[in-house]
Amino acid sequence: MTQVGIPRGLFYFYQYPLWKTFFNDLGAEVITSSPTSRKTIDHGIENTVDECCLPIKVYFGHVSELIEKQPDYILAPRLISTEMRSYICPKFMGVPDMIRANWPDCPPLIDITVDCSRDTRQLWRDIYRVGGLFNGSKKSILAAYEHGLREMKRMRVWTRQGYSPLEAIELWEKHGEAAAESPDSDICVGVLGHGYSLYDPAISLQLTDKLRQMGCKVVFLESCLREHLEEEAARLPKKMFWTLGRKIVGSALVMDKSPEIDGIVYLACFGCGPDSMVGDIVARKVRHKPFMLVTIDEHSGEGGLVTRLEAFCDMLRRKKVQGFESDLSPYGFHAHSH
Ligand code: SF4
């Protein structure tokens, strides 16, 4: 059976059910790399230039593992845009070229181009081209892709119910069985960041698990309704043309108004151009909730993160008990004032 390898990084956290279903329906077996470990990060560092952000390095670590497994193909989409007049970070665009330059003898790449910035003609051409690799008829390729889209929507229902995309992927693979129970919590923290860093436990240093262990209910940006966050993001003086950046700013503003949420944490990656701008915009625009920006790279340690999260949670609890918290100014602003 033809094998397609899907690296467990970048778009995996958003689109895995789509591509797994698509290839399975066309008769291929899908294999993935293992969950990110220190070894993955080290292999990624060895195979990328220093200037790359951590998620790209990690992605290359996953590709390196898949190359050792020698599948027939490796899926490495060229993601440019997933919606009209908005774009994904340019680093995604060069992924297939960087892989080929780094591993000239790697298995053939499925470098489907996803560019919906003007229309979807290119995408459909590429879907039929890729489907043709598996000898599918046009009808079966279309059916497989539509089935993939339905499965992706099914996974997103769980993210809207409060599960992280990684948890939703696990639920999707187990057909929705054994949903994790939420532990007791007395404060609620909204978490923001790019999905491939926030939901990869090794990159985020298990930020969400740590918050939960500290007694927080964690709200992910995926649970914000699309129309609400678009409405809030549209209040910016200029349209944010990065799809993920706009989602983060919009969700931050929705969380800022939500009575349920006590504080907001933003996980940013060192070396990320969009994060350096989006993080700053969020820090300036969030006015009603304590906000903390956590920047990580491949050298970040868990100890420092735990200390910052504990201090943040302690401050939220004090604020909740006292009704206000004066003179605690996150990032230059008063957290709360009367
Ligand atoms: S948005 Fe930032 S973290 Fe994501 S790929 Fe681009 S540079 Fe890396």
Is the CB of 53 inside a 6 Å radius of any atom of ligand 1?
yes
pLDDT score at 147: 96
pLDDT score at 49: 86
332: pLDDT strictly greater than 80 = no
Span 188-214, average pLDDT: 94
Q: What is the pLDDT of residues 134-163, one digit of tens each?
A: 977 999 999 999 999 999 999 999 998 889
Q: β-strands 113-115, 29-32: how paired?
A: unpaired
Query: Which ligand 1 atom minimizes the distance to the CA of 242?
Result: 1
Is the CB of 269 inside a 6 Å radius of any atom of ligand 1?
yes
Sketch out the chain's domains with CATH numbers.
3-160 (3.40.50), 183-332 (3.40.50.11900)
Could you tell me which residues come within 8 angstroms of residue 188 by beta carbon, excluding any fewer than 6 positions away?
216, 217, 218, 219, 260, 261, 262
Is the CB of 8 inside a 6 Å radius of any atom of ligand 1?
no
Q: What is the pLDDT of residues 255-267, one digit of tens each?
A: 999 999 999 999 9
pLDDT score at 301: 80
Q: Please list the residues that pair with 31 across neighbouring strands.
A: 5
Cα–Cα distance measured from residue 338 to residue 329, given in angstroms and rounded to the nearest whole number: 14
Q: How confident is the model at residue 328 (pLDDT cuts 50, 70, 90)?
A: low
pLDDT score at 325: 56
pLDDT score at 175: 76
For residue 304, the CA-to-ligand 1 centroid distance in Å is: 23
Ligand 1 atom 6, closest CA: 89
Span 39-51, average pLDDT: 91
Q: What is the pLDDT of residues 284-308, one digit of tens each?
A: 999 899 999 999 888 778 888 999 9
Span 195-214, average pLDDT: 94
8 A C-beta contact, residue 205 and residue 296:
yes
Query: Which of 59, 79, 192, 194 has most ligand 1 atoms within 8 Å of its beta carbon, as the pocket-test mutant?
Result: 194
Span 216-231, average pLDDT: 91
Structure tokens at 198: 């926030």
Q: What is the mean pLDDT of the chain?
A: 89
Span 75-93, average pLDDT: 89
Q: How confident is the model at residue 117 (pLDDT cuts 50, 70, 90)?
A: confident
Could you tell me which residues come within 8 angstroms of residue 173 by beta carbon, excluding any fewer than 6 positions away?
none
pLDDT score at 257: 93
Long-range contacts of 279-286 (CB under 8 A, 24+ apart): 281/236, 281/240, 281/249, 282/192, 282/248, 282/249, 282/252, 283/330, 283/331, 283/332, 283/333, 284/333, 285/236, 285/249, 285/252, 285/253, 285/256, 286/252, 286/253, 286/255, 286/256
Structure tokens at 118: 């003007």
8 A C-beta contact, residue 337 and residue 319:
no
**Residue with more model confidence, 297 or 329:** 297
Query: Which of 14, 78, 89 has most ligand 1 atoms within 8 Å of its beta carbon, as the pocket-test mutant?
Result: 89
pLDDT score at 162: 87
Cα–Cα distance measured from residue 21 to residue 329, given in angstroms and rounded to the nearest whole number: 48
Q: How many CB atoms lie within 10 A of CB 128?
A: 14
Query: Which ligand 1 atom minimizes the distance to the CA of 273?
Result: 7
pLDDT score at 333: 55
Please list the helix, strand and coil fractions of the chain in percent, rounded to the nearest 5, in that order.
50, 15, 35
pLDDT score at 302: 86
Is the CB of 275 inside a 6 Å radius of any atom of ligand 1?
yes
Q: How confident is the model at residue 174 (pLDDT cuts 50, 70, 90)?
A: confident
8 A C-beta contact, residue 91 and residue 56:
yes
Q: Is 336 exposed, middle or buried (0-12, 13-18, 19+ CB in 10 A)?
A: middle
Span 264-274, average pLDDT: 91
Q: How confident is the model at residue 181 (pLDDT cuts 50, 70, 90)?
A: low
